[in-house]
Amino acid sequence: MTAQAAIARFPPSRVPVVNVATVPQRSPLRYPGGKTWLVPHIREWLTKTAPDVLIEPFAGGAIVSLTGVMEDLVPSAVMIEIDRDVAAFWRSAFESGATLSEWIRTFDPTYENLAELAGRIPRTVEEHGFRTLVLNRTRRGGILAPGASFSRQGENGKGVASRWYPETLASRLSAISDYADSLMFMEGDGMKILPVLLEGWGRRAAVFLDPPYTASGGKRAGNRLYQHSEIDHAALFRMLDEHDSNFLMTYDAAPEIVALVKQYGFEAVSLTMKNTHHNRIPELVITSEPLFA
C-alpha cells in the first residue's frame, strides 16, 4: 500500500491547513516538519476537551505546549525531550532566559564563529543551551544531528545568518520566561514518563504527540533528522489505548500507522502538507475522540 492509498482510507480534515504566516511563532527552535500548521486543530481540540494539563512527550520545539499555555487553552503543560542538546536548550530557557537573550544579542554569526561554537564542548547548561539554539538556527533545515552542515546560501542569499534574528529570538525567550510557572520541562524518555503521568492524571490530561518517524525515509529533509529517531510505534499506540487517554497525534500516512489506527479503532483525518522542498506529504491527525471529520 502506498502512502496515497493509505491516506485515502481517511476523510480529509474539515479544519483547513492554515497559512503558517498567520500563526504566532512562539518557539525559538526550528524543527524540520514543525507543527505550526496544526495550530487550528490544537485550538479546537483543547477548547472542546478542556484538560487540566497538556503533556507533550516528544517536545522538540514544543510549539503545541507553548501555544496551549500562551493562548490560555490549558492551564499548564509538561514538555518531555530525550535529546541532550534540545533538553539543555529548554532547561536554560527556563532557568536562565535573560542570560541566553544577552548572549543572543551579542553573538556575531559568522561562519568562523559558528564553526568554533560547534567544536567547543559546553561547560554549563547555559552554554550548552545557547550552542543548541545557534546551531539549530543556522544549520541547514535546523538539523542538529552530528555532521549537519551550515546553510551557506541560507534564505535570500544571506548565508548562515539568514535565520538568526536576535531580537525575535530574545522576545520569544522573554515570553517563555513569563509563562515559566505554567510550563514544566522534563529531560528523559517520553515512552517511559508518559505512562507514569497518565497513571496519575488520566483523562484530565491531554496528550499531544509528534513522534519521530523515519519509516517513510527520504521524503522528508534527510533520513536522520533527529539523533533519537527510533521508538516502538506499536507500543505507543497500545499505551494510549490502555490509558484511555485524550490524545491528538500526527504521523506520516504510512501503511504501518494506518494498520495501527484500525487495530485500536482510533479516529483519523488526513491532511496534505507541503514540505520545505514543496513535495506534498500526506499527514494523519489521529485522535481519541471524533473531532475533525
Ligand X SMILES: C[S@@+](CC[C@H](N)C(=O)[O-])C[C@H]1O[C@@H](n2cnc3c(N)ncnc32)[C@H](O)[C@@H]1O
> Which stretches of the chain bind ligand X, using CB under 6 A?
31, 34-35, 57-58, 60-61, 63, 80-83, 86, 189-191, 210, 212, 226, 228, 231
What 3-state class would DSSP assign to 181?
coil
CB nearer ligand X, residue 1 or residue 175: 175
CA 80 to chain centre: 11
- Taking the complex as a whole, how short is the minimal distance between the CB of residue 283 and ligand X, in angstroms? 12
Residue 150 carries which DSSP code? B
Question: Least Å distance between CB 35 and ligand X?
Answer: 4
> What is the nearest approach in angstroms of ligand X to the Cβ of residue 23?
12
Minimum CB distance to ligand X smaller for 122 or for 159: 122
Residue whose C-alpha is closest to residue 250's, from 35, 44, 61: 35
Specify the residue for cell string 534564505: 155
- Cα 34 from Cα 67, distance rounded (Å): 13
**Amino acid identity of 160?**
V
Nearer to ligand X, 69 or 86 (CB): 86
Residue 126 or 252 having the CB closest to ligand X: 252
For the CB of residue 113, give the shortest distance to ligand X in the complex, in Å: 25
Task: Report the SS3 class of residue 184.
Answer: strand
Rounded Cα gap, residues 97 and 91, in angstroms: 9
Closest distance between ligand X and the C-beta of residue 251, in Å? Answer: 10
| Sign of the dihedral through C-alpha 92, 95, 99, 105 | positive
Cβ at position 116, least distance to ligand X in Å: 25
Q: Which is nearer to ligand X, 56 or 126 (CB)?
A: 56
Distance, CA of 158 to CA of 31 (rounded, Å): 20
Is there a contact between 169 and 134 (Cβ–Cβ < 8 Å)?
no
Residue 230 Cβ, how far from ligand X at the closest point, in Å? 8
Cβ nearer to ligand X, comparing 123 with 276: 276
Pick the closer one to ligand X by CB: 9 or 219.
219
Q: How far is the CB of 277 from ligand X (least distance, A)?
A: 17
Phi-psi label, residue 159: left if phi above 0, alpha if psi -120 to 50, beta otherwise:
left
Query: Which candidate, 81, 125, 71, 70, places its Cα nearest to that of 100?
Result: 125
Report the Cα–Cα distance between both ends of the chain, in Å, rounded.
23
Q: Helix H segments across 180-280?
A: 190-201, 233-242, 255-264
Those residues whose C-beta lies under 8 Å from the C-beta of residue 195, and which sit 6 or more positions away, are: 239, 243
Closer to ligand X by CB, 212 or 282: give it: 212
DSSP 3-state of 162: helix
